[in-house]
A and B are shown apart, each in its own frame.
Chain A
Amino acid sequence: MNPEVLKACVVPGQPQPLMVPEQNEGWMKLRRAYDEMAKEIKEANPDVLIIYSTKWLSVIGHQIQARKNPEWTHVDDEWHEYGEVEYSFNIDSELAHQVNEACHDRGLHTRTVDYHGFPIDTGSIVALKLLNPDNKIPAIILSSNIYADRTETVVLAKSIIDALKKSGKKAVAIASTALSNRYHDQMIDPKEDRIHSLKDHEWNLKMLEFFEQGRLEDVSQLSRQIQQEARVHKVTNFKPFWWLSTMMGQTNYLEGKIFEYQPLYGMGGALVSLTPSDRSFGDLEYDEADPENFQGDRNVLKSEGTDSDESEDTGGKE
């Protein structure tokens, strides 16, 4: 258990609950679930919200939003007809820089971003608008590196815990992600929305069953299989629960609460919170490694005798 993290939350990153909840009963239920979750977060009284967004992709390691007050008028690339969202967020720039340093200490390549007009992703915008409507709680946002796999993702979370320890701040960790992520690839009448396939729905129910029992680490351990079964392979792997579970101390000693589960244009949209608890289904012996540091990409195809410049490619301490 990491006492620095008061609660873990799972939220979907699609814009419907924020922008057009009235178009579908399920989207409206998700919207109400956001409102309810916002209350629960407020009651937990964190110093900071830490968002890992699967909709913010990066290539040069992970990026960390560090602009104190990013402001913009955002239009979604896909659902531009929903209109625009004006935002003005409260970012904990100091913690963002501390996280960046802590990542470097563990061998990760990360950088902060602090630019006017930087395109904050729809998932982060939806989470901050709905979970922190008055902007009272400062936040930081982390990207999802398209090339990262488990080690980088686990070490990223451990680095954040290092930074939280140093700062003395208490956080709520938020993973902005769908469960199953297959959209309807054709335009639908919003009223007709449903999970894209029964198989996706069944996998979502399995994840929700685990969440309800507080078994976040079990979901984390299952991530590779979920990626195979219920995810379109847009990126290397299904990473958000590696991150979220590590933020919580890689444990099943959690109290799970399902706020809502509904289709979002075919995908599985769920709002879930997990709070430290004595009640548990127990921690088992797990197959996945528990890395402490990132050693760099392993260039498995690298031939012998490659010149020393190549070590640049590996991106970490050899």
Chain B
Amino acid sequence: MGNGRIIAGCLAPHPPHLVYGENPPQNEPKSECGWETLRWGYEELRERIPKDEYDVIIVHSPHWRTYIGTHILAIPEAKSISVDPIFPNLFRFHYDLKVDVDLAKSIYSEAVGKKLDMKLMENPKFRVDYGTIVSCHLANPDWDKPIVSISSNAAAKYFNVEYMQELQTHLGDATRVAIEKSGKRALLLASNSLSHRHFTIEPPIPEDMSKEHIYHHGQYLWDMRMIEMMKKGQTREMIDLLPDFTQQATAETDGGSLTWLMSALQYPKYPAKIHAYGTVIGTGNAVASWKPEVGGPA
């Protein structure tokens, strides 16, 4: 084998509100509408990265938070209902997914080779986290591609963002090498919001968009700064700034998904395509994609 490659990497945030707004048959709660800018951004992302271009989706999720090492989903299939512990009124999603266990194990082995603490998740009764499910659903609502789900290690909380970035840099490298060896074409999803301060109350109609806006202007400014750098292809600078951003904007980048993605893509110098920016219960979210073949070599 060999010649596998990353066909695209995306910033693919996972607020369950976006699935709720979309009303797929798998989700029990039903909405009238809501968060269109972001949902249409995902539509555009799906057009830019049609599913015949990839064999597998690899998602790094801040909502599978592990404290001891990084864990990788390694059961061939998973079927259950995912109920969001924070927004159970919006997200009770019946999922039925397949996992590329070979690739999962190969990422695991490459990462172990880099001395990272890794664990395979092999319990068939395990419930897949909603970050993984939301990002994967919005990237490919047909669920007809296998996925690999990677947990986010809590190193940013236990040590600091710099330490976390070091770890995710190695994990991103390990992911890329495993993909190359596999011969497969992979779509990578970093499942995180940008600024991440929420409102602590919800309007009576959750999809009432007259109530939706950024929690605080300072967050907005930080989000715009990060997006500007994505648009200019300054991803190395963006990652250098990420510790400040994470702290100042209480950003969900603390989970390491974006750092992992940038490392796997080898810090693109070509511009990201920004499909959308919007807020969800006060948090800042961007849908963005990097396509190496369109953008040129990193």
- Min CB distance B115 to A, Å, is 11
B123 touching A309, Cβ below 8 Å:
no
Give 1 or 0 for each of B56-68: 1 = CB within 8 Å of chain A CB: 0000000011111
Given contacts A60-B200, A60-B201, 6 further A-B contacts (CB under 8 A): A75-B125, A78-B68, A83-B123, A185-B153, A187-B68, A265-B68
B201 touching A183, Cβ below 8 Å:
no
Instruction: Give complex CA distance A312, B92 in Å.
Output: 26
Chain A residues in 8 Å Cβ range of B151:
77
Give 1 or 0 for each of B203-235: 1 = CB within 8 Å of chain A CB: 100000011000110100000000000000000
| Residue of A58, A59, A187, A297 with most chain B CB atoms under a 10 A cut-off | A59
| B127 interface hit (Cβ, 8 Å) | yes
| B236 interface hit (Cβ, 8 Å) | no
Q: Give the contact-size bracket for chain A.
A: 35 or more
- Chain B facing A: main interface SS: loop
A84 touching B123, Cβ below 8 Å:
yes
Chain B residues in 8 Å Cβ range of A68:
none
Instruction: Give complex CA distance A117, B155 in Å.
Output: 30
Chain B residues in 8 Å Cβ range of A83:
123
- Min CB distance B109 to A, Å, is 16
Chain B residues in 8 Å Cβ range of A185:
67-69, 117, 153, 155, 158
Contacting B202 at CB < 8 Å: which of A60, A119, A182, A234? A60
Contacting A60 at CB < 8 Å: which of B69, B86, B92? B86
Known: A185-B155, A232-B157, A233-B157. A59 touches B86 (CB 8 A): yes
| B126 interface hit (Cβ, 8 Å) | yes
The 6 closest A-B pairs by CB, nearest first: A80-B123, A315-B201, A117-B81, A84-B125, A75-B126, A117-B83
| A259 interface hit (Cβ, 8 Å) | no
- Min CB distance A109 to B, Å, is 5
Instruction: Give complex CA distance A54, B83 in Å.
Output: 19
| B237 interface hit (Cβ, 8 Å) | no
Instruction: Give complex CA distance A79, B71 in Å.
Output: 10
Instruction: Give complex CA distance A186, B116 in Å.
Output: 9
A118 touching B198, Cβ below 8 Å:
no
* Beta-carbon contacts under 8 Å, B77-128 to A: 80-83, 85-89, 92, 117, 119, 121-123, 125-127
| A147 interface hit (Cβ, 8 Å) | yes
Chain B residues in 8 Å Cβ range of A187:
68-69, 117, 119
Chain A residues in 8 Å Cβ range of B66:
77-78
Known: A80-B121, A301-B218. A115 touches B92 (CB 8 A): yes
Instruction: Give complex CA distance A312, B208 in Å.
Output: 13
| B129 interface hit (Cβ, 8 Å) | yes
Instruction: Give complex CA distance A119, B63 in Å.
Output: 13
| A290 interface hit (Cβ, 8 Å) | no
Instruction: Give complex CA distance A57, B80 in Å.
Output: 22
Known: A75-B125, A301-B216. A186 touches B117 (CB 8 A): yes
Known: A115-B88, A117-B83, A187-B117. A232 touches B125 (CB 8 A): no
Sampled A-B contacts (8; CB under 8 Å): A57-B85, A75-B123, A75-B126, A78-B67, A81-B122, A187-B117, A234-B157, A315-B200
A186 touching B68, Cβ below 8 Å:
yes
* Beta-carbon contacts under 8 Å, A89-140 to B: 109, 111, 113, 115-119, 121
Instruction: Give complex CA distance A147, B151 in Å.
Output: 24
Chain A residues in 8 Å Cβ range of B198:
59-60, 147
A73 touching B201, Cβ below 8 Å:
no
Chain A residues in 8 Å Cβ range of B210:
309
Chain B residues in 8 Å Cβ range of A21:
none
Known: A77-B64, A119-B127. A58 touches B86 (CB 8 A): yes
B83 touching A77, Cβ below 8 Å:
no
- Min CB distance A121 to B, Å, is 8
Instruction: Give complex CA distance A162, B65 in Å.
Output: 36
